[in-house]
Structures are given as structure tokens and as C-alpha cells.
Structure 1
Amino acid sequence: MKSVYYAVVFEWITDCILRHVDVQNGIRLTISIFSLFFVGVILFYLDEKRNLMQKIFLCVSFFIIRWLSLEIFTELGFYERDFVFNFKLFRESIPAIVAEYVVSTIVEYGLALLLLFFSIKLLLKTYKNKQEDLSWKELIMLLIPCISIFLATRIIYSYYMLWFDGIENGSIKANIPGNMYRILFCIMAYLTLCVTLYFYQSIKANKEIEYANRVLAKQIEDSKKYVGQIETVYQQMRALRHDTGNHMAVMKGLLETEKYQELRDYLGNWEETYKNIVPSAKTGNAVTDIAISEFVDRFADNGITLKTSLKYPSNVAVNPFEMCVVLTNAIQNAYEASLSVNEPYVEITSVERENVYIISIKNKSDKKAQIDEEGIPISIKNDDGHGFGVRNIREIARKYNGDIEIKQFSENDGLWFVLNIMFVG
């Protein structure tokens, strides 16, 4: 909010300069363009240096929408002025003219403000990608219609200034007339912005669907891989059990001949073979055992402490493959967040009470995550499909009449991020 206040103050000062200081049109245009981009830069630096391109586009869009809102009712005000001057009272009575001017100005600016309010609400509702980083190509694509409209506003402004100069020097006697083409231009310009955002949203939505399909395909492949690993483990366990008699005979022989060192080595090798076969995670479900065990070595190799006491639910009928999607997405996010943290730590716990089952993934974080309007953490990664992991988790939780909860808090040992996932059977 502090960044917004600074930006508002800067824009207000700039607007006062342009309105009340007599400057050349070229300088006025330069200041106008500079102010739009500088407001975006202010918001960028005071808002953790996020989304510079997005902020510039939104600032330019706000300027265009604000101008269009004022211009529409300014043009309608010209028609209203010409209409009231048809009455003798307003042509001859100065108090009546002043009263008409005050009332019309209040109504004009009030309606313009109302239109601006609903326009911004519509923009916030329809433009769902405003939290994401824009590329240079996307920024240029979105700015081209805005720049065209902006240049047209300068042309209309120059037209007004020439008319006012003509009135001052006496070459023009009449007031500025209303012009239906200027009103139509404002309406078409407004529709141009809406259509541009609509098609941009459609392109982004199609890309997200494409990315979601790729993610789904990868998760299906991962599930198949886990099932294949389970089959391998079962075969190795059967082979180990089949050879148990032979192992016992060998160890008995070593014990009877008092070859204790050879016996210790043999037991050590047997234990190592057993550890390599049996998954390190023990959740009570073979699929999730394999899924979590895959992360154990990865965490250990990167010096991340992983503590898990997860137990598969017994009273809540959750599909093992959907549980696998939930756990792998959540643990992957915790893993990535832990890579940039001193003394990283991840804890996975679960609790089950009657028909309610809750998983909690807790990890240390280097900074507080930004949460978007949908309650999804905003990823700092620039690749496509950010936030799909948490979205998939939430979709699966809601399928089982549950939901997710995100908590962030600070303790003496640092900042913590907690993701709670609830399933209701």
C-alpha cells in the first residue's frame, strides 16, 4: 500500500503541473509519457521489484480508461450546454449560468468517476493474469492499442487548445461544439481495450490448458512409474524371502565356526540389501511410500532435513494416485523453497479424526510468499503454469469435500510456510 500512496502522490503532482503550468505541447507530451512509466517504476521498486512490465501496462491502461471516462461526459456536456442555452434564463442570468455550470460539472465528474470505478472493477475481474510477469513481446502487443489511443488523446487536446486560443484572440466566437465522432471514438477505444484484453486472456488460458495437460500427462507417467517400482520391490522381497533359508544356513555355519567378523560383514551386506529394497517412507500405502521415498535422497543430497510421520488415512477413502499428486506437488514446492534457506527443514505430518483427514507440510522460507486473489501463492519463477501445483492440490481436496489452508508466520529460527490439506470422507 505504501507503494500505491507514493505513486498516487507523484501522479497528482504531475497532473497539477500539466493542468496549471503553461508548458509547450511537446514538453507536456513528454511529461505525460514519463509520468506513466515512472509510476510503474515506483510501484516496481516499492513492491519487492515484481512485475515491472505488468505495472507499466496497468498504469498506461488506467490513464487511458480515466481519460476516456472524462472525455465521454465532457462531450456530452457540450450537448447539455448547447441545450440549456436555448432557454432565455441561462442566456441572460449570470446566477443561473453559474448554477448550471456548478451542477453540470458535479454531475459530469460524478458520472465519469462512476464509469471509471466500474471500468476498473471490470478490469480487475476479467484480467486474471495481472499477477504474472509480462514478457517484452506481450507488453508491446498490449501497449500498441494503448499508445494509439494515447496519441489520439493528444490530438484532441491540441484541438481544444487551438479553439481556446481562437476564442482568446477573437478569431473564434462560438464555444467548442459537441461532436458525435469524438464520443464514438471514445466508445470504440474503450471496446478496443476490452477486446485486446479478452483475446490476450484467451491466449493465456489456452496456454494454461496446454500446460495443465502436460502436467497431467507427467503425473500419469509418474504414477505408472511408482506402480512399476512397487512391482519391482515385491519381486525383490519375494526373492529375498526365498533366499532367507540359504542366508540362515550360511550365518549358522559362520557362527559355529566362530568366524565372527565374516558373520558381521555378511549381516551388514544383508541389511544393506534389505534397506535398498524396502522404501524408506512408511505411510501404510505402497504407492505413497514410493512417492515420498523418492524425495528422501534428494533432500539428503541438498542438506535438507526431512521429518515425516505421515500415515495413510483409514477412514477417508482417498484414491492413492490422487494422494500421490497431492504429496508430490506439496513436497516439491517445499523442496524448492528450502534450496535458498539456511538450515532448511521440512516436516510432513498427518492427523485423522473420524471422517476428517489433514496433511500438514511445514517448511522454512527465505521470504513471505505473495498470495493472489484465488488464495494461491505467486511463484517467483518465470516459466508457464506457475501455481499449478497448489491449484491441483486444492482441486483434489475440494473433490473430497475439503480445502487447503496456507499459513505464514515468523519464529526465532526464521520464517515458516505451512500448507494444510483437508479431506472429508
Structure 2
Amino acid sequence: MNFRVSFPVATILELLVLLGYGYLVLKCPLALTAVTAILAISIMQVVNGIFQSIGSILCEAAFPHVTLVLVICSLMALAVIYFSYRYVIKTFRIRQSISTHYIGLLLLPILFILLVIQHIFMTYGSTIIVNSDGRRIFPNINDWGMLLIQVSAYFCLFAVVFAYRKLEDNFELQTQNALLEQQVNTQTHYMQEVQMRYDQTRAFRHDLKSHFMVLGSLIERTENQKAVAYLNKLDVAKNTFSFPCQTGNMVVDLLLSDKLGLAQQKGIKVECNMTIPSESIIDDMDLCIVFSNAIDNAINACEFVEEKESYIIISAVQKGRFFMIEIENSCNEGHKKGTGTGLGLKNIRAVAEKYNGAVSVDHEVENFKLNVLLLI
């Protein structure tokens, strides 16, 4: 659109159009809309200024082929603007960790560069006028100096954008570390509870001799009903110290007892068949990270499936120096698209990489399989 207004006013109108479209139509946050609108205008004007200076230098050297030079410079400017915009789109593509507070920090340097460009155009004009022999009439400026200023402004713009990307990456990393720390604290709680159960089990076993003496005494006095009742109490007490899934690792047993118990309460059929090697380099905390995240994801997927069809199957086998874990669960096609992504799977991959292993996922229409391979 061509407005018969001054260059700064035209720039303000362009900014208002972009701001209105981004905020009202695309429903973007105001800070993000403002930064990207100013950045879009700044890139366009800086690149046009660069190739205007280049064109001015070449026109004086290539006269009378001025038209050809200007066409080539215009096409090159369009190409640079296109790839610059692609980089900006990639940088500002909406991500879960995007912070409008951090985006707001970009307003000042980008706006400053835009004001500098506006000052240049206001001072020297936006059009170069030459006479019939190709010599400049207006404006009387140093093209090389102006080119250096414009190129510096261009790289300053993208230095700011690059700094923002690094800031966002750091913000995302901090968020992941905070979630991982929270998870580690949870696993530490499991390990403390395991120690408590272990102490209770030792005390129960220590008292078994006394329990047998009481049972023997009741049987000798033919008080069979009291003996059966006492035996039932012992059985109940025994069950409080046992785990539904016996893996050979008390920490994992307690974790699975808690997680699979929650799954059963939700009506999910659970099957567990595995033995964890006693002599391996796998840390208990790492095992908890793998099973905790995998089972949480499995339970979440099963909640989208009819209760009678939901299931979780956990199995593991040792083959030579490798320990292979497979967790299979039901899912539906609608939920399948989002399965296998997120922080949980990232944590599992991190554990696998720690032990020179690998993680693979297998999507099917009604089930999902997670395979974890660890070198033990």
C-alpha cells in the first residue's frame, strides 16, 4: 500500500497493522506481537538500506546499465529478507517454555535499531536521485560508510535474536532440571520408605519364633479356632510387608507396588514379570526414573481407553551383558499422537544413554510399547 505520508508515519502505520493482526487475529501475546512486528519492519528496512547502498555504488561503476543493477539488487534484497524472516519464524515458533518476560527484553535493542534506521532515512531520504550521466545529485553521502552502518545494524538485530534463543534454551533447561530434581526427591522418598519396610520386615521375622510358640500353645490346648484366627492375623501382617511384583530389588518393588496399585484402583489390568540382576552397575535411582516415568505415561494413556480393555504389562530379561525392559500398555488412536514425547521420555533416554543403551517406541492402533536397553 502506498501512503502519501512521511517515511516515519508510514513505518508507524505498518507497525500498527502488524500489531493489530498479530494480537487481534492470531491471538498472540502482546509482547511477542510487538517484538516480531518491530523486528519484521527493522529487517525489511535494514536490508533494503544495505542493497540501496550497494546499488548506488554499482550504479556509478556500471552506468548506463543502471536498471539491470537495480533489478538485481532488488531481487537479492528480497532473497535476504526471505531467509531472514525464516530464521525469525524458527526462533519465535511458539514453544512450551516461551516467556513473555524474556521477550520483552528484546523490545529496547530492536526498537533502538529501528529508530536509528528511521533517523538515517529522515536525514538522508529514502531515494537516490542521479542525473543523465549517472552521477548522484541527492543525497550527498558516503555510500561505503552508510553500507557499513546498515550491515552492522543487520548483524546487531540477529545477535539480539540469537541471544534470545540461548536465553530461552537456558530457561527450558532450568525448567527441566527443576522437574527432574522434584522427581529425584520423590525417588528418594521411595528409597526411605523401602528402608522403613525393610526394618519392619526384620522385626517381624525376629518375632516369628514367638508367634510360632503362641500357635503351638493354642494347638496343644486344642483351641483351633483361636489358632486359625491368630494365623489369619499373621497372614495379614505378612501381606503388609510383601510386594505384588517381586523383582529382587526392594526399591523397585516398592515403586511398582505404589504405581501398579494406583493403576489397579483405576481398573487397569496389571501384569509384571521380571527379575532385576543383583550384580549390575545400574543405580537404584536410575531404575526408579525409568519405571516411574514409563508407568506414569502408561497409566495416563490407559485413562483414554475403556476400563475393560485397559492393561499394563511390564517385563524384563537379561541377555548377556544387556538388560532389556519392555513396558506395554493399551491406548487409543486419539491419544497415540502425543505418546512418547515429553520430559518423562527424555529422562528415560538420559538414563539409557548413561548406560550406553537405547530407547525405542512402537506405536500401534491400540497399544504402545516402550523398550529400554541398558548395558549392565
Q: TM-score, normalised by structure 1?
A: 0.65
What residue is the counterpart of 1:420 in the other structure? 371
Q: Distance in 1 between matches of 2:370 and 2:355?
A: 17
Q: Distance in 2 between matches of 1:55 and 1:304?
A: 46
Contact (CA 8 Å) 1:54, 1:130: kept in 2 or not?
Answer: no
Q: Are residues 1:319 and 2:283 paired? A: yes
Contact (CA 8 Å) 2:314, 2:326: kept in 1 or not?
Answer: yes
Q: Distance in 2 between matches of 1:279 and 1:213?
A: 31
What residue is the counterpart of 2:137 in the other structure? 174
What residue is the counterpart of 1:360 in the other structure? 326
Return the letter of the residue paired with 2:314: I
Matches within 5 A, 1:13-412: 18=1, 21-22=2-3, 29-35=12-18, 38=21, 61=39, 64-85=42-63, 90=64, 97=65, 100-106=66-72, 108-110=74-76, 113=79, 117=83, 120=86, 124=90, 131-150=95-114, 163=127, 174=137, 179-180=143-144, 182-204=146-168, 207=171, 214=178, 218=182, 221-222=185-186, 224-251=188-215, 253=218, 257=222, 259-260=224-225, 262=226, 265-301=229-265, 306-313=270-277, 317-335=281-299, 343=307, 345-363=311-329, 364=331, 367=335, 377-378=341-342, 387=343, 389-411=344-366
Contact (CA 8 Å) 2:43, 2:81: kept in 1 or not?
Answer: no
Q: Distance in 2 between matches of 1:402 and 1:201?
A: 31
Q: 1:203 to 1:358 in 2, by over 3 A?
A: same
Contact (CA 8 Å) 2:268, 2:311: kept in 1 or not?
Answer: yes
Contact (CA 8 Å) 1:254, 1:263: kept in 2 or not?
Answer: yes
Q: TM-score, normalised by structure 2?
A: 0.72
Q: 1:28 to 1:188 in 2, by over 3 A?
A: closer
Contact (CA 8 Å) 2:23, 2:33: kept in 1 or not?
Answer: yes
Contact (CA 8 Å) 1:402, 1:421: kept in 2 or not?
Answer: yes
Structure 1 stretches lacking a partner, 5+ long: 1-17, 46-50, 91-96, 168-172, 379-386
Aligned residues: CA RMSD:
4.6
What residue is the counterpart of 2:133 in the other structure? none
Contact (CA 8 Å) 1:307, 1:348: kept in 2 or not?
Answer: yes
Say which is worse superposed, 136-145 or 311-320, in terms of deviation. Answer: 311-320
Q: Distance in 2 between matches of 1:72 and 1:114?
A: 10
Q: Distance in 2 between matches of 1:293 and 1:70?
A: 66
Structure 2 stretches lacking a partner, 5+ long: 131-135
Contact (CA 8 Å) 1:315, 1:354: kept in 2 or not?
Answer: no
Say which is worse superposed, 195-204 or 290-299, in terms of deviation. Answer: 195-204
Q: 1:29 to 1:58 in 2, by over 3 A?
A: closer
Return the letter of the residue paired with 1:193: L
Q: Distance in 2 between matches of 1:148 and 1:270?
A: 79
Q: Secondary structure at the match of 1:401?
A: coil
Q: Secondary structure at the match of 1:405?
A: strand
Residue deviations 1:366-409 (CA, integer Å, cap 9, x gap) = 645569xxxx835xxxxxxxx3x433322221122222234544
Cα offset for 1:362? 4.3
Return the letter of the residue paired with 2:356: N
Cα offset for 1:41? 7.3
Q: 1:72 to 1:213 in 2, by over 3 A?
A: same
Q: 1:177 to 1:277 in 2, by over 3 A?
A: farther
Cα offset for 1:141? 1.9
Percent sequence identity over aligned pairs: 23
Q: Distance in 1 between matches of 2:324 and 2:22?
A: 45
Contact (CA 8 Å) 1:313, 1:352: kept in 2 or not?
Answer: yes
Cα offset for 1:234? 2.8
Return the letter of the residue paired with 1:423: L
